[in-house]
């Protein structure tokens, strides 16, 4: 940890501090690093979640086909559950858009 000068007030602050403790000025380097990390983890979240939901959907559709042989009502109910899972995932993707 080293000390740097605040661009606004000129006092020394830690280089890892997100803002100046004296004047409250933001350390833009740390803010940009945090923003990049959030973008990366959102991308990982969206990719892994989408891949998992696709695998889940394939397995669930096979189960629906097997259930359709025995009872069409059970297959209809199961396909409704699959639709709801996709609905929630799409709404989660909309909330976590990468900006």
Residue ranges of the domains in the chain? 3-95
- Tracing tokens 């940009």 back to the chain, one arrives at 32
What global pTM score does this model have? Answer: 0.47
Instruction: Report, as an integer, the average pLDDT of 28-37.
Output: 72
The residue among 67 and 97 whose pLDDT is bigger is: 67
The helix (H) or strand (E) run that includes residue 14 is strand 12-14
89 vs 54: CA distance, rounded Å? 11
- Is the model's pLDDT at 54 over the cut of 80? yes
- Tracing tokens 């409704």 back to the chain, one arrives at 80
Instruction: Report, as an integer, the average pLDDT of 20-25.
Output: 78
5 vs 85: CA distance, rounded Å? 51
| 69: CB partners within 8 A, 6+ apart | none
**b/e string for 72-87 if b means 16 or more Cβ within 10 A?**
eeebeebeeebeeeee
- Is the model's pLDDT at 9 over the cut of 70? yes
- Is the model's pLDDT at 44 over the cut of 70? yes
Confidence of residue 6 (pLDDT cuts 50, 70, 90): confident
Mean pLDDT for the chain?
78
């Amino acid at each position: 940890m080293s000390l740097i000068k605040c661009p606004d007030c000129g006092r020394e602050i830690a280089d890892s501090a997100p803002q100046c403790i004296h004047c409250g000025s933001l350390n833009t380097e740390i803010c940009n690093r945090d923003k990049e990390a959030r973008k990366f983890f959102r991308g990982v979240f969206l990719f892994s979640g989408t891949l998992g939901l696709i695998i889940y959907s394939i397995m669930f559709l096979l189960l629906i086909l097997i259930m359709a042989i025995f009872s069409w009502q059970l297959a209809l109910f199961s396909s409704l559950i699959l639709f709801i899972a996709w609905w929630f995932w799409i709404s989660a993707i909309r909330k976590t858009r990468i900006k």
